Amino acid sequence: MRYVILGAGVAGFAAIESIRQADTAGEISIVSDDPNGFYSRPGLAYYLSGEIDGKALYPRSREDYRALNFAFINARARKILRDGKKLELEGKPALEYDRLLIATGARAIPLNIPGADLSDVVKLDHLADANTILALAKRGRTAIVTGGGITALELTEGLLARGMAVHYLLRGERYWSNVLDARESQIVEARLQADGVVLHYHAEVTEVVGRHKRVIGARLKDGTIIKCDLFAYAVGIAPRMELAQDCGLACERGILADERLQTNDEHIFAAGDVAQVYDPLTGHSTLDSLWNLAREQGRVAGLNMAGRRTAYLKSAPFNVTRLAGLTTTIIGTVGRGRDEDVLGIARGDSETWRELPEAIVAQGGFDVNHVRLLLGENHIIGAVLMGDQKLSLPLQKMVTHKTDISSIRDMLLQPNAPIADVLADFWVGQT
């Protein structure tokens, strides 16, 4: 059996690992146009801030790779020839496949304004971008960041850590309004301001101003010009699905895949940020850009490619991240609708988070220890925790397994309820 994996992200490598569990003799090739191979995309934020070095981005050793027995091909894929089951590559021989996995991920949506092509305009899409930013970031200089979601904050904090003065532009009235509520946004914003970040609300950039091909500032819609030496953006991501579209695979917002991660071609599978995966529990197909879900999709795709029929049953979207230095967990459906700072989906985001649930909000905590619950009739459908993370894993399990919380629901909804204590006592009684 000849397996070809298109994309060297976490979904692709999870697929290789599960293929090898089921088929020790098959021929596996992984194709990527990123010469850096497999590294931790979430780790780029810590690399940018200087908390880890480049070596720490690589979660696997050379011995691990040798044990998996695959060929890495650094090349750009040109075309999928479905009839002949071939993958055409630029400058290299075509690869024949029996099973193909498209795990090409997503790319940053480009900034579509005058001046966006200047040399000091940057994004944080992959390791090469991070290295470019590190080469440009100079202590004592000024940066502007625009956009929403986790990546915009990673850029803001990384540039700040490198000694730059940072202006953060928000098109709306607060940060990440489709996921966080007003109080949660306020907590993040206050911490950014305490660190010296200058926040600009209702600030829409119309032009990056340059001189001699270098950035010198940004012009806002109201005519204001803010001087800067570097301009960074994170306005959303789009699945890299052009190859799939060109060869006639079914696509909507991403490549459509069923619960086995199979596309409408029985020989081709899709997983990770590029895949819009059907969830049999909800009857919906959704996009996710979360590391843990991409890894699980890749694992299940690999098993199915090797002939072991396995269904991908999506767990509640779950992410532990850091917002303005504050550990934050987001679980399940917490939606607040549209975010003016993001087009479509953001990196580290889930379409499920953006749904507007029919739920009652229970909220507690103060300062930087905060919890918000979205309550259905008898179970928790979503949660946000900021600060203290003791309840992170219990809440993930309660949301995923739809644990009946009828016995404590009224207590959680009481004014000034000690929500964390009520949940902790309930969880202890369940285990």
CA distance 300 to 306: 10
For residue 18, give its domain range.
Answer: 2-107+238-305
Tokens of 262: 């199979």
Residue-level pLDDT at 364 = 77
Assigned domain for 176 exists: yes
Residue 344 shares a structural domain with residue 402: yes
Q: Give tens-digit pLDDT for 162-206.
A: 999 999 999 999 999 889 998 999 999 999 999 999 999 999 999
Q: Which of 305, 327, 345 is the last residue of a domain?
A: 305
Could you tell me how many helices (H) and strands (E) the chain has, helices first? Answer: 11, 26
Assigned domain for 310 exists: no
Residue 103 shares a structural domain with residue 250: yes
Number of domains composing the chain: 3
Residue 117 shares a structural domain with residue 224: yes
User: Tokens 């990546």 sit at which residue?
Assistant: 151
Which of 145, 147, 132 lies closest to 47, judged by CA? 132
Residue-level pLDDT at 357 = 72
Assigned domain for 312 exists: no
Residue-level pLDDT at 367 = 63
Residue-level pLDDT at 338 = 66
CA distance 1 to 22: 12
Assigned domain for 313 exists: no
Assigned domain for 358 exists: yes
Residue 244 shares a structural domain with residue 227: no
User: Tokens 């098109």 sit at which residue?
Assistant: 171
Q: Give one DSSP letter per residue of 84-130, joined into a string.
A: TTEEEETTEEEEE-SEEEE---EEEPPP-STTTTSTTEE--SSHHHH
Residue 136 shares a structural domain with residue 179: yes
8 Å CB contact between 32 and 89: no
8 Å CB contact between 353 and 243: no
Which of 252, 336, 175, 164 lies closest to 270, judged by CA? 252
CATH number of the domain enclosing 27: 3.50.50.60
CATH number of the domain enclosing 361: 3.30.390.30
Rg of the Cα trace of the chain? 22
User: E strands, 133-247, where?
Assistant: 142-147, 165-169, 198-200, 205-211, 214-220, 225-227, 230-234, 237-239
Residue 93 shares a structural domain with residue 120: no
Q: Are strands 99-102 and 205-211 parallel, antiparallel or unpaired?
A: unpaired
Tokens of 239: 């699945």
CA distance 207 to 89: 37
CA distance 205 to 5: 39
CA distance 93 to 387: 52
Residue-level pLDDT at 351 = 85
Ramachandran assignment for 196, one of left (phi > 0), alpha (psi -120 to 50 degrees), beta (any other): left
Q: Which of 305, 337, 361 is the last residue of a domain?
A: 305
Residue 372 shares a structural domain with residue 279: no
Burial (CB count within 10 angstroms: exposed 0-12, middle 13-18, buried 19+), residue 162: buried
Residue-level pLDDT at 371 = 92
Residue 263 shares a structural domain with residue 370: no
**Nearest 5°: CA angle at 424, between 421 and 430?**
145
Assigned domain for 415 exists: yes
Residue 70 shares a structural domain with residue 124: no
Residue-level pLDDT at 11 = 97
Assigned domain for 311 exists: no
Residues of the chain with pLDDT under 50: none
Residue 297 shares a structural domain with residue 323: no
Roughly what angle, to the nearest 10 degrees, separates helices 419-430 and 392-400? 70
8 Å CB contact between 427 and 394: yes
CA distance 332 to 373: 10
CA distance 243 to 322: 34
C-alpha distance from residue 390 to each of 29, 306, 329, 381, 387 (Å): 42, 39, 11, 19, 9
Q: Give tens-digit pLDDT for 245-284.
A: 999 999 999 999 999 999 999 999 999 999 999 988 778 8
CA distance 392 to 409: 19
326, HSE (Cβ side, Cα atoms, 13 Å): 26
Residue 228 shares a structural domain with residue 243: no
C-alpha distance from residue 156 to each of 111, 192, 210, 228, 417 (Å): 17, 9, 21, 14, 35
Q: Which of 305, 328, 357 is the last residue of a domain?
A: 305
Residue 101 shares a structural domain with residue 245: yes
Assigned domain for 213 exists: yes
